[in-house]
Amino acid sequence: MSGDSLLDRALVRLEEAAGHLQIDQDVIEKLKYPRETTKTRLLIRMDDGSRKSFQAWRCRYDDTRGPTKGGIRFHPHSTMEEVETLAFWMTFKCAVMNLPYGGGKGAVQVDPHSLSKSELERLSRAYVQAFASTIGPDRDIPAPDVYTNAMIMGWMADEYSQITGQVSPAVITGKPISLGGSLGRNDATARGGFYLVRNLASELGLDRDHTVAIQGFGNAGQYYARLAASDRNTVIAVSDSAGAIYRPGGLDVEALIAGKSSGRRLIDMAADQGAHAIDAEELLSVEADLLVPAALEDMITADNAARIKAKVILELANGPVTPGADKILNDHGVVVLPDILANAGGVTVSYFEWVQNRQGFYWDLEEIHSRLLKIVEREGRAVWSIAKERGVSVRSAAYIHALDRLATAIEAHGTQSFFAG
Ligand SMILES: NC(=O)c1ccc[n+]([C@@H]2O[C@H](COP(=O)([O-])OP(=O)(O)OC[C@H]3O[C@@H](n4cnc5c(N)ncnc54)[C@H](O)[C@@H]3O)[C@@H](O)[C@H]2O)c1
């Protein structure tokens, strides 16, 4: 665990948490490595008749607490190590929320924007053909991640049903509503984070009308902006991959969302909003009470952490703060609400989708929201109490909470597998 890869850095959190619990070394040994990672190349026919192949992976990191669960990412820079790290985080995220799942993740190394819609469909179906015996409603349940969406999940569910000869909507979550998707999945990640902040607001020192800066204006970022604005918070800065805009008096969130859906970049909307276009990096250091990273990993590092002025960071993205940055933020009194808790609303509503598919009875939106609220408040409070009682960061507390559950489950499974091989 001495290296500096993404997975090494993720494992630092495991070691830290283990130091606070009386845990058998066997448990740590089991959680240090993925259970299985399958790598393959997907060969598809392109529209011009040529054939092209793409590297693809599926990792089932740990299934002690239930079938593995985690999204599929389509990204040109995806690597096996990234997939395994994301699967590790999913293992802990499901445990923090007490969902009956282990952690998994998948990816295809592709720039999906370079494919036509029919090429994208062939690639999505090829993924399921390749991993048909890995995934399954009781084995491994994918979902959307960066650059994948409900349409892709619909194609994948359909392909799986054709292969197995059965309608199996519970094999995948994040599907279109017409194919068994759940109400409330679209904004679930942002909503979970929003409920967490609202519930802990007085402990965090955030007033009702606090100011917010959001890095990344995709699914998670846009929905967070909308929820925050509707609760009288003021969204003062937002960024996408092209740059950031800042208006101390507040931005018109709905106009920005409408502009993004018609393909405009945020910086092109600065003038309409009376906002300044600023460098993407500058967004991190604006005078906002709450900073919401909602883009990609490793955005807040030891190089820029000291410039952050926010009191609280809500990690809607996975892994946006490096361990080096964590230390600086901690020293500066910035509270980080960690990804495995802050963005777990998405997997929680995915869990609701799976439950509804299996029972064949569908809930209304009010029921989804109230069940999500209950789980976020229960686990958020539990994590906060651990942080206060033990005098540790909220991140360490979330890992301690999750590791305790994982260790109990690993021990409950018994030791037979230790002797089998
Ligand atoms: N969508 C979910 O349900 C969900 C659930 C859990 C975690 N997450 C995590 O949230 C993050 C965002 O996911 P998403 O679904 O919103 O993705 P998305 O693709 O919809 O949006 C990503 C956004 O980040 C922006 N971006 C990329 N690079 C940037 C940079 N350098 N600076 C500023 N902005 C940049 C993009 O322009 C885009 O606006 C990821 O880390 C993902 O793993 C998402």
- What is the three-class DSSP state of 338? coil
Is the CB of residue 216 less than 8 Å from the CB of residue 295? yes
Catalytic annotation on 105? yes
For ligand 1, whether the C-beta of 220 sits within 6 Å is yes
Please identify, by atom number, the ligand 1 atom nearest to the C-alpha of residue 217: 39
- Give Cβ neighbours of residue 18 (< 8 Å, ≥ 6 apart): 27, 28, 403
CB atoms within 10 A of CB 2: 6
Q: 200-220: b or e for each residue (b if 16 or more CB lie within 10 Å)?
A: bbeebebeeebbbbbbbbbbb
Which runs of E-coded beta strand occur in 354-418?
none
**Which residue has a Cα nearest atom 18 of ligand 1?**
218
Q: Is the minimum distance from the CB of 280 to ligand 1 under 6 angstroms?
A: yes
Q: Please calculate the CA angle 114-140-397 and round it to the nearest 5 degrees.
A: 95
For residue 103, give the amino acid letter.
Answer: G
35-179, what's its fold? Rossmann fold (3.40.50)
In tens, the pLDDT along 399-409 reads 999 999 999 99
Tell me the average confidence (pLDDT) per consecutive run of 10 residues in the chain, 421 residues long. Answer: 74 90 90 96 98 98 98 96 96 98 98 97 98 98 94 98 97 97 96 98 95 96 98 96 96 98 96 95 96 94 97 96 94 97 98 98 98 98 97 96 96 69 49
The per-residue pLDDT of the chain, averaged, comes to 95
Same fold, 35-179 and 188-342: yes
Q: Is the CB of 216 under 6 A from ligand 1?
A: yes
pLDDT at 322: 92
Which ranges of 97-172 does DSSP label H, i.e. alpha helix?
A: 117-130, 150-164
Q: What pLDDT is attached to residue 404? A: 96
DSSP secondary structure letters along 127-141: HHHHTTTT-BTTTEE
Determine if ligand 1 sits within 6 Å of the CB of residue 340: no
**Domains of the chain, residue spans:** 35-179, 188-342
E-strand spans in 233-358? Answer: 234-240, 243-246, 276-278, 290-293, 312-314, 335-337
Establish whether this prediction's ipTM goes over 0.90: yes
From CA 61, how far away is CA 350, in angstroms rounded? 18
- Cβ–Cβ < 8 Å for 216, 322: no
Which residue among 298, 318, 352, 376 has the greatest number of ligand 1 atoms within 8 angstroms of its CB, and so is best to mutate? 318
Q: What span, in angstroms and rounded, lies between the C-alpha atoms of 278 and 160?
A: 46
For residue 321, the 8-state DSSP code is B
User: Ligand 1: which of 151, 260, 316, 353 to mutate, most ligand atoms within 8 Å of CB?
Assistant: 316
Ligand 1 atom, smallest distance to 316 CA: 10
pTM for this one? 0.94
> Residues 30, 69, 93, 105: which is the catalytic one?
105
pLDDT at 5: 82
Convert the pLDDT of each residue in 134-170 to its tens digit.
999 999 999 999 899 999 999 999 999 999 999 999 9
- The reply to whether ligand 1 has any atom less than 6 angstroms from the CB of 222 is no
CATH code given to domain 188-342: 3.40.50.720
| Helix (H) and strand (E) counts in the chain | 15, 13
pLDDT score of 415: 67
